Amino acid sequence: MTTATSDSTYTFDNGAPDAVPQMHALESFLDPITTRRLAHAVLRPGATCWEVGAGGGSIARRIARAIGDTGQVLATDIDPAHLVAKGNLHVRRHDVRTEPPPGDAFDLIHARLVLLHLPERRRVLRTLTGALAPGGWLVVEEFDCTAPQRVLTAPNDDAAKLFAQVMDAIMGVLQEHGADLGWAQDVHTEMTLAGLTEVDTITHSQSWAGGSTGASLYETNSRQLEPDLLAAGLSPDQLNAFRRLVRDPGFAVMSYHFVSTRGRLPS
């Protein structure tokens, strides 16, 4: 996932040093959920599919295996450096904000952690809907960042307060870059307004212990956004303490709420 902002800079850049560990952490947490959402009711052999903002390509590869040699997957990203074309999996550089869809008859279009970062998110959702084949599915998955991250255990109260302070700053930076922290709650309604049917939504969260792959996402994000976080008033000592905290086995926090919504274009 590479996320664009309104001024064509990028909140999380695929070319940044921390991009690969960020992708791995997200894939570890999210791929099992996404795979269930793209199961047999949605994904069929021979399908034509579009993976939007494909990032590291893990879901594109899963889709390619599921649809078999008679199907086709197009994985697009504004920076496809981590994507590898192979067999029925094709790769293309593409900006979903400014370029027309690379087709108009997709049986499945999947976008994960993409639209929440785009100021044009509602227009893009309708563009994606217009690229579906009759009977095709659109699956949009986002983090709901409106609820504070709930600390379950911490070494002390000061550590819990530090975590909350840094997370508030991270959310502020994302908003400044054009993210809508509550967009995940709107997707179901927007799909219905776009004319999709059979719309359904699930939400998933789980505990992340300090030192886990999930908790490493907090550290990675703090490094990627460090210049903005320092500009927002955090100190290097606070950021270093935050990173030690999320590696501490005595620390645990509830993950972001992951919201998966899918809808179908009438046949």
**What does the radius of gyration of the chain's CA atoms come to, in whole angstroms?**
19
Query: Can you give the pLDDT at residue 147?
Result: 84
Third-level CATH fold of 19-264: Rossmann fold (3.40.50)
Query: Can you give the pLDDT at residue 119?
Result: 95
* Tokens 């255990």, located at residue: 153
Q: Which SS3 state, helix, strand or coil, does residue 78 take?
A: coil
Query: Can you give the pLDDT at residue 21?
Result: 81
The tally of CA atoms less than 13 A away on the side-chain side of residue 2 is 24
Longest dimension (CA), the chain: 57
**CA distance readout (Å), 149 to 34, 155, 205, 250:** 22, 16, 11, 16
Query: Can you give the pLDDT at residue 11?
Result: 61
- To the nearest 10 degrees (0 to 180), the angle between helices 19-37 and 58-67 is 30
> Would strands 48-52 and 252-254 be described as parallel, antiparallel, or unpaired?
unpaired
Q: For 38-71, what is the HEC assignment?
A: CCCCCCCCCCEEEEECCCCCHHHHHHHHHHCCCC
DSSP 70: T
Spell out the domain ranges in the chain: 19-264
Interatomic CA distance for residues 154 and 157, integer angstroms: 7
Query: Can you give the pLDDT at residue 5?
Result: 35
DSSP 86: B
* Element of type H or E holding 254: strand 252-254
* Tokens 């606070």, located at residue: 238
Assigned token pair, 80? 């496809």
Contact 20, 56 (CB under 8 A): yes
Interatomic CA distance for residues 1 and 3, integer angstroms: 6
Closest CA to 63 of 90, 103, 92: 90
* Element of type H or E holding 31: helix 19-37
Query: Can you give the pLDDT at residue 14?
Result: 60
Ordered per-residue pLDDT tens for the chain, 267 residues: 444 433 344 465 566 666 788 899 899 999 999 999 998 779 999 999 999 999 999 999 999 999 999 999 999 999 999 999 999 999 999 999 999 999 999 999 999 999 999 999 999 999 999 999 999 999 999 999 998 889 999 999 999 999 999 999 999 999 999 999 999 999 999 999 999 999 999 999 999 999 999 999 999 999 999 999 999 999 999 999 999 999 999 999 999 999 999 999 998
Query: What contacts 78, CB < 8 A, 6 or more positions away?
Result: 2, 4, 10, 53, 93, 94, 95
Assigned token pair, 264? 């179908």
CA 224 to chain centre: 16
CA 97 to chain centre: 16
Query: Can you give the pLDDT at residue 18?
Result: 64
Interatomic CA distance for residues 37 and 64, integer angstroms: 15
